[in-house]
């Protein structure tokens, strides 16, 4: 493994650990029907997500999501080693995917707890892993389209 790639695997591990630690805090300190109001637009709650992003595709089952996540972890790990330019972004995706995969294997669902809302309109509940995954994927897409427009 390339020496620099190891640092980005370490970053992915840190994201994974932050995700798992925050989820354990939620599991042990927030009840299923509790709401901790942090700000007028932000709550901390406890939610069990058996689907994918935004709770979609619940009918596909946990085994499907585990298989997809394992495939993604392998593919992103290979990309992290080979593509030095995007290692930071791949480490975000890798750490996030690993965090949610650990939940699926351990509990059969993903623990979500971050609840953003405006009045009664709530964004789907999410977690640290989702944040890292989303940021990594969006930045990779942005870079891809930007580079495509440049012709590189």
Bridge-partner residues for 37, per DSSP? Answer: 43
pLDDT value for 152: 60
DSSP element (H, E) containing 47: strand 42-49
Q: What is the pLDDT of residue 56?
A: 63
| pLDDT at 54 (0 to 100) | 58
Tokens representing 5 are 């790639």
pLDDT at res. 107: 97
Active-site entry in 19, 103, 112, 115:
112
Q: Where are the domains of the chain?
A: 3-150
pLDDT along the chain (152 residues), means of 10: 86 99 97 92 95 68 90 97 95 98 97 96 96 97 88 67
Q: Which of 19, 103, 115, 130 is catalytic?
A: 130
pLDDT at position 33: 83
pTM of full prediction above 0.85? yes
115 catalytic residue (yes or no): no
């Amino acid at each position: 493994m390339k020496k620099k790639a190891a640092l980005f695997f370490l970053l992915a591990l840190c994201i994974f650990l932050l995700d798992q630690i925050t989820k354990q805090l939620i599991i042990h300190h927030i009840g299923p029907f509790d709401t901790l109001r942090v700000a007028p637009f932000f709550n901390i709650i406890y939610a069990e997500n058996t689907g994918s992003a935004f709770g979609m595709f619940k009918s596909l089952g946990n085994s499907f999501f585990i298989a997809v996540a394992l495939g993604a972890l392998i593919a992103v790990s290979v990309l992290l080693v080979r593509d030095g330019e995007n290692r930071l972004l791949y480490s975000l995706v890798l750490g996030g995917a690993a965090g949610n995969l650990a939940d699926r294997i351990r509990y059969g669902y993903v623990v979500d707890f971050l609840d953003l809302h405006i009045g009664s309109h709530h964004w789907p509940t999410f977690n640290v892993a989702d944040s890292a995954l989303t940021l990594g994927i969006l930045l990779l897409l942005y870079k891809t389209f930007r580079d495509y427009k440049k012709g590189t």
